[in-house]
Amino acid sequence: MSASTGEPGAASPVRMTVNGVAIEREVPPRTLLVDFLRRDLGLTGTHVGCDTSVCGACTVLVDGRSAKACTLFAWQAQGGSVTTVEGLAAADGSLHPLQAAFHEKHALHCGYCTPGMLMSAMDLLGREPAPSEADVRRAIAGNVCRCTGYQNIVAAIMHAAAHVAPAKDAL
Amino acid sequence: MYPAPFTVHRPASLADAVGLLASRGDDARLIAGGQSLIPMMKLRLATPAELVDLSAISGLADVSGRDSELHVGAMVRHRAFEHDVVLDALPILRDAVQGIADQQIRNRGTMAGSLANADPGGDWGPVLLALGAHVDVSGRSSSRTLPVSELFVDAYTTALESHEIIHAVRIPRPRQPANAFVAFKHRTGDFATASAAVRLEIDADGACTAATLALGNVASTPVLARGAGDILVGRHPLDRAVLKMLREHVAETCDPFEDTHGSADYKRALAATVAVRAVEAAVRRARGEKVDVRLYW
């Protein structure tokens, strides 16, 4: 993306693949990835929690790796692939095994942290198909939950890892 | 929260990036991972009118040259140091990366960016000081190589000119894996309340033949405990009298601020303790043991 001519901060094109779909929009450079996803693409599954890079409610995958979308500009994903929670379920609506595990193990109450937890779990399962409980807790150390006490979230991720194929081939 | 409006440049070469910094002066900031810069911009603690992004420059994301010296490009993310088996000689790197923030931030933030940011609490600073690392810097009219010991000037202040870019970090590969980093962190991923990085060489009789010790977040920059060599060399590092002298030297070397994590005296005592833990871990590694420093957390 070349420098804008005209006033600083003028909109310019951003292109990336989101949940497998090629998209292009014109946005100002200061547009955060989380707001690009929510406002420009209507993908409101990714949440803004603290907006200060701590809580992880905004976690998505960028090129297969977890990242806090409130701490990235949209142009930093230029030419790359972004996966949000909306990209987990199959085209027919059937849940991703990780989502099914969260359901099975009651790993959410209010659900606000859940998309971020799922995407951090996807990062983990993409690089470690047989994680220990310690691995799981480290993988979600950047995701805060105010409701569950984490126990069932950890159990759900362990359950998904043990009972499903590695997540990396699912997206 | 939103940063103030800015223009972003994504140069294809280091020379172009340097040229942009040189022509834009104080209005321009470099961005690598952005995991420190973007939060500052969102709070408007930093309001650059121009960003010069390094991620479109090819060749900066590689870790190479592993036999005698590790060459770490400017865009190498923290997570590169989590699993690489080549780092058997440098377990200190894995020690440090495990405690940096969280997985999301480790996936995007960079070692070089962390050094350039020069946060007093950064973990790479003391580690690279203890390892005797250098940074390769590209500037407007020339390139230079700077030892990390000359890089940090003050909190958030390096010896770099405004047009200079760290394009690589060079880490000498030690002959022995007798190196370790121990940080006391109130919560996993926080900045250390105090940290210690040590590199030793131990001979066949268990005596220390070389030692470098650096301390983190107990001064406005990472600091070398310059008397560590005199205290440890020629002696068995785990000797009680030796460790007592080391503790006293570390406590004297610190110049910590009191804050919510503790008083200055608390931090001095903590620094002395993590220094001893780091020496213990390094000695055990010299003996061929696998040591997980998280046991000290």
- Helix, strand, coil % in chain A, rounded to nearest 5: 35, 15, 45
Which residues of chain A make contact with B185, given a CB cutoff of 8 A? none
Considering CB atoms only, which of A1, A78, A120 is closest to B103? A120
Closest alpha carbon within chain B to A75? B8
Any A CB within 8 A of B69 CB = no
Whether residue B238 contacts residue B278, with contact meaning beta carbons closer than 8 Å, is answered with no
Contact B6 A9 (CB under 8 A): yes
- pLDDT tens for A55-95 read 999 999 999 999 999 999 999 999 999 999 999 999 999 99
Sheet order of strands, B223-224 included: B179-184, B194-202, B208-216, B223-224
- pLDDT tens for B75-132 read 999 999 998 755 789 999 999 999 999 999 999 999 999 999 999 999 999 999 999 9
Handedness of CA B40, A47, A73, A76 (dihedral sign): positive
Residue B297 has pLDDT above 90, yes or no: no
Contact A53 B105 (CB under 8 A): yes
Extract the residue ranges of chain A whose pLDDT is less than 70.
1-6, 164-171
| Cβ–Cβ pairs < 8 A, chains A and B | 97
Using pLDDT thresholds of 50, 70 and 90, give the confidence band for residue B173. very high
Whether residue B89 contacts residue B43, with contact meaning beta carbons closer than 8 Å, is answered with no
- The H or E element containing residue B71 is strand B69-73
Contacts of A55 (CB under 8 A, 6+ apart): A49, A113, A116, A143, A144
Contact B103 A7 (CB under 8 A): no
Whether residue B71 contacts residue B167, with contact meaning beta carbons closer than 8 Å, is answered with no
Residues in chain A: 171
Which residues of chain A make contact with B101, given a CB cutoff of 8 A? 142
Alpha helices per DSSP H over B25-164: 37-42, 91-97, 103-108, 111-117, 124-130
Considering CB atoms only, which of B2, B9, B107 is closest to A67? B107
User: What is the rounded CA–CA span in Å between residue B230 and residue B286?
Assistant: 20
pLDDT of residue A165: 55
Q: Of the candidates B228, B148, B215, which has an alpha carbon nearest to the alpha carbon of residue B184?
A: B215
Considering CB atoms only, which of A4, A59, A75 is closest to B104? A59
DSSP for residue A164: S
Question: ipTM value of the model?
Answer: 0.95
Contact A1 B10 (CB under 8 A): yes
Considering CB atoms only, which of A9, A75, A143 is closest to B5? A9
Q: Of the candidates A70, A47, A64, which has an alpha carbon nearest to the alpha carbon of residue A122?
A: A64
Which residues of chain A make contact with B51, given a CB cutoff of 8 A? 29
Residue B259 has pLDDT above 50, yes or no: yes
User: What is the rounded CA–CA span in Å between residue A20 and residue A80?
Assistant: 11
Indicate the SS3 state at residue A27: strand
The pLDDT of B262-280, averaged and rounded, is 97
User: Mean pLDDT, chain B, as a whole number?
Assistant: 95
Neighbours of A79 (CB within 10 A): 12
Contact A142 B39 (CB under 8 A): no
User: What is the rounded CA–CA span in Å between residue A1 and residue B55?
Assistant: 12
Q: Please, which residues 9-28 of chain B have a Cβ atom closer than 8 Å to chain A?
A: 9-10
Contact A66 B79 (CB under 8 A): no
* Nearest CA-CA distance, residue B8 and chain A, Å: 6
User: Mean pLDDT, chain A, as a whole number?
Assistant: 93
Give the β-pairing of B50-53 and B7-9: parallel
Considering CB atoms only, which of A3, A51, A59 is closest to B7? A3
pLDDT of residue A164: 63
- pLDDT tens for B134-166 read 999 999 989 999 999 999 999 999 999 999 999
The pLDDT of B257-275, averaged and rounded, is 96
